[in-house]
């Protein structure tokens, strides 16, 4: 079957009609519209755009700050646990050297300098058993010491009063960190 030559446009005619010149008035990408788009970009950001960006930045900073604050508290609790464990070990070495733990009156200071209150230690280590910086918890409070302890009647109790600085009376909501709570951890 042969195509009717009057119905089929020659290829050259079809291409020419598709690439005809565009008119700036009818063309959306014409020079007038390009200039308008460029002018809008040069005007800057709208107030709404700035408010959206500031809000997003504020939300991100809030989330990050909240997670860092939680990490700092967790790190201080971990440090307090480590201090209580380290002092417990120093007290065990003191007992091995001297045959007994320091009394409650001698306190944890007996690990830093030789006690002058009776009973005097038999073989006190010349440099002590720890340094004074270990006697304060990460929140700046003093660690409490009791020998014999209320919970460890044949040993001692060492406690950090935690972030609130108040000694608890054994309540479940207590934030205190004590050696008898940390044993086995």
pTM (global) more than 0.85:
no
Q: What does the block give as tokens for 62?
A: 């809030």
Alpha helix locations (H) across 10-46? 11-18, 31-42
Mean pLDDT of the chain: 79
**Number of domains comprising the chain:** 1
Q: pLDDT tens digits for 76-110?
A: 888 889 998 999 999 999 999 999 999 999 999 99
Confidence (pLDDT) at 95: 93
Which CATH number fits the domain that encloses residue 139? 3.30.700.10
Q: Is residue 26 part of a domain?
A: no
Q: Is residue 24 part of a domain?
A: no
Q: Is residue 3 part of a domain?
A: no
Q: Is residue 170 part of a domain?
A: yes
Alpha-carbon distance of 137 to 72, in angstroms, equals 14
Q: Is residue 113 part of a domain?
A: yes
Question: Is 177 in contact with 81 (CB distance < 8 Å)?
Answer: yes
Q: What does the block give as tokens for 165?
A: 């600085």
Between 43 and 41, the more confident residue is 43
Q: pLDDT tens digits for 14-31?
A: 444 455 555 555 555 555
Task: Give the dihedral sign, CA 27/28/29/34.
Answer: positive
Q: Is residue 120 part of a domain?
A: yes
Q: Is residue 34 part of a domain?
A: no
Domain that residue 156 falls in = 47-182
Burial class (CB in 10 A: 0-12, 13-18, 19+), 147: buried
Q: What does the block give as tokens for 69?
A: 């604050």
What are the CA-CA distances from residue 39 to residues 43, 44, 81 (Å)? 6, 9, 64
Q: Is residue 147 part of a domain?
A: yes
Alpha-carbon distance of 174 to 143, in angstroms, equals 15
Alpha-carbon distance of 120 to 16, in angstroms, equals 112
Of 93, 84, 149, the residue nearest 121 (C-alpha): 93
For the chain, give the percent of residues with pLDDT over 70: 71
**pLDDT > 80? residue 39:** no
**How would residue 5 be classed by pLDDT, with cut points 50, 70 and 90?**
low
Q: What does the block give as tokens for 113?
A: 């300098």
Confidence (pLDDT) at 35: 57
Alpha-carbon distance of 9 to 157, in angstroms, equals 103
In sequence order, the β-bridge partners of residue 110 are: none
**How would residue 167 be classed by pLDDT, with cut points 50, 70 and 90?**
confident
**How would residue 111 be classed by pLDDT, with cut points 50, 70 and 90?**
very high
Q: pLDDT tens digits for 127-153?
A: 899 988 888 888 888 888 998 888 888
Question: Is 75 in contact with 119 (CB distance < 8 Å)?
Answer: no
């Amino acid at each position: 079957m042969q195509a009717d030559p009057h119905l089929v446009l020659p290829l050259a005619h079809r291409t020419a009609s598709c690439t005809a010149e565009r008119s700036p008035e009818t063309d959306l990408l014409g020079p007038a519209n390009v200039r308008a788009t460029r002018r809008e970009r040069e005007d800057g950001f709208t107030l709404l755009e700035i408010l959206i960006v500031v809000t997003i930045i504020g939300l991100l900073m809030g989330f990050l700050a909240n997670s860092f604050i939680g990490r700092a508290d967790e790190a201080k609790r971990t440090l307090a646990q480590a201090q209580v464990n380290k002092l417990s070990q120093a007290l065990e070495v003191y007992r091995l050297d001297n045959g007994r733990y320091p009394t409650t009156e001698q306190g944890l200071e007996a690990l830093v300098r030789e006690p002058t209150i009776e009973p005097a230690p038999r073989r006190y280590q010349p440099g002590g058993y720890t340094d004074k910086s270990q006697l304060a918890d990460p929140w700046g409070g003093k660690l409490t010491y009791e020998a014999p302890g209320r919970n460890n009647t044949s040993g001692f109790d060492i406690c950090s009063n935690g972030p609130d600085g108040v000694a608890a009376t054994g309540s479940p909501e207590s934030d205190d960190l004590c050696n008898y709570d940390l044993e086995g951890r």
